[in-house]
């Protein structure tokens, strides 16, 4: 497919799980993709290999997107590789890191969660927005946790994603006059390493059983929604936080 032929996309946290699925989806439909990663060196290599296996174009750039200097370096690498215009920006980088109750929180953990999940979205958007023009699309990854407060021990994660949903609406207003659309996705239970690491199997079984579609979602299904929002088919869609949770929760 050539939906995004001639387009350049930047995907933060693009080397594994949902991020990898998004990177591959956009590349498969013709975009030149900047795959950002930080800890997933092997995942970045595998993602590039997959993209190149079907003739796609991509580069991998290691950068801590909670650090402004690293974000600027990511921008420089993107411009060096694919030119000075960005058409699609996906703010996907994020993590839960650990489940901690209120009394288990400390400042360093607060800074880690909020910086990786929310600060990154703010400043990646700030740095790349000048390279984006009419018809460009920004897609942020929020979470169902922003809707319902998240599972046990995820108060900071849920709060950071709540901030992302609000920032999405604010940017839709601010950047709309420039012709830039800004939307977010709020995934529910998606079968990824995230839940392998932080959600017990018995809880996953219960949640999937309560979901009207009676299953977990797949990373490719999230990527498909990103593909729609990044395309001209969604040319009048902006400021929306899309639930993708099999019908478990509604906005």
Residue the block writes with tokens 């997959």: 50
Beta strand pairing call for 137-141 and 181-187: parallel
CA atoms within a 13 Å half-sphere pointing along the CA-CB vector of 23 = 34
Cβ-based burial of 15 (10 A; exposed 0-12, middle 13-18, buried ≥19)? buried
User: What percentage of the chain reaches a pLDDT higher than 70?
Assistant: 96
- From the candidate CATH numbers 1.10.1200.10, 3.40.50.720, 3.90.79.10, 2.40.40.20, the one assigned to the domain spanning 8-190+219-244: 3.40.50.720
Is the pLDDT score of 198 beyond 70?
no
Residue-wise pLDDT tens digits, 96-138:
999 999 999 999 999 999 999 999 999 999 999 999 999 999 9
CA angle (128 as vertex; 124, 134 as ends), nearest 5 = 130
Q: Where are the domains of the chain?
A: 8-190+219-244
Q: What tokens appear for 219 in the block?
A: 């990373």
Residue-wise pLDDT tens digits, 66-82:
999 999 999 999 999 99
Is the pLDDT score of 200 beyond 80?
no
- 140 C-beta neighbours (distance < 10 Å), count: 26
Our measurement of the distance from residue 88's CA atom to the centroid of its chain's CA atoms, rounded to an integer in Å, reads: 12
With residues binned 3-state (H G I as helix, E B as strand, rest as coil), the percentages for the chain, rounded to 5, are 50, 15, 35
Residue 228 known to be catalytic: no
User: What percentage of the chain reaches a pLDDT higher than 90?
Assistant: 85
Instruction: Give the CA radius of gyration of the chain.
Output: 17
- SS3 for 215? coil
Q: How many helices (H) and strands (E) does the chain have?
A: 10, 7
pTM for this predicted structure: 0.94
Active-site entry in 37, 110, 157, 228: 157
How long is the chain? 251
Residue-wise pLDDT tens digits, 148-197:
999 999 999 999 999 999 999 999 999 999 999 999 999 998 987 666 76
Inter-helix orientation angle 68-82/120-128, to 10°: 40
Structure confidence at residue 250 (pLDDT): 76
Q: Are 43 and 15 in contact (CB under 8 A)?
A: yes
Q: 22-31, 171-180, 192-201, 240-249: lowest mean pLDDT where?
A: 192-201
Structure confidence at residue 206 (pLDDT): 86
């Amino acid at each position: 497919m050539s939906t995004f032929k001639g387009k350049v996309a930047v995907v933060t946290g693009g080397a594994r799980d949902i991020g990898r699925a998004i990177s591959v989806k956009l590349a498969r439909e013709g975009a030149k993709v900047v795959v950002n990663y930080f800890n997933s060196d092997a995942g970045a290599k595998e993602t590039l290999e997959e993209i190149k296996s079907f003739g796609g174009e991509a580069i991998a750039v290691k950068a801590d997107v909670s650090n402004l200097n690293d974000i600027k370096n990511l921008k420089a690498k993107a411009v060096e590789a694919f030119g000075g215009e960005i058409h699609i920006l996906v703010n996907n980088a994020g993590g839960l890191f650990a489940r901690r109750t209120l009394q288990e929180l400390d400042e360093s953990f607060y800074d880690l969660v909020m910086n990786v999940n929310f600060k990154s979205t703010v400043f990646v958007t700030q740095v790349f927005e000048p390279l984006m023009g009419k018809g460009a699309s920004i897609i942020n990854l929020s979470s169902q946790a922003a809707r319902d407060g998240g599972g046990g021990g995820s108060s900071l994660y849920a709060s950071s994603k709540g901030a992302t949903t609000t920032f999405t609406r604010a940017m839709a207003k601010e950047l709309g006059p420039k012709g830039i659309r800004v939307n977010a996705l709020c995934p529910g239970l998606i079968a990824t390493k995230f839940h392998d690491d932080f959600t017990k199997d018995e809880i996953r079984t219960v949640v999937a059983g309560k979901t009207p579609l009676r299953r977990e979602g797949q990373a490719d299904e999230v990527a498909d929604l990103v593909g729609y929002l990044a395309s001209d088919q969604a040319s009048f869609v902006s400021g929306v936080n899309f639930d993708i949770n099999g019908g478990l929760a509604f906005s």
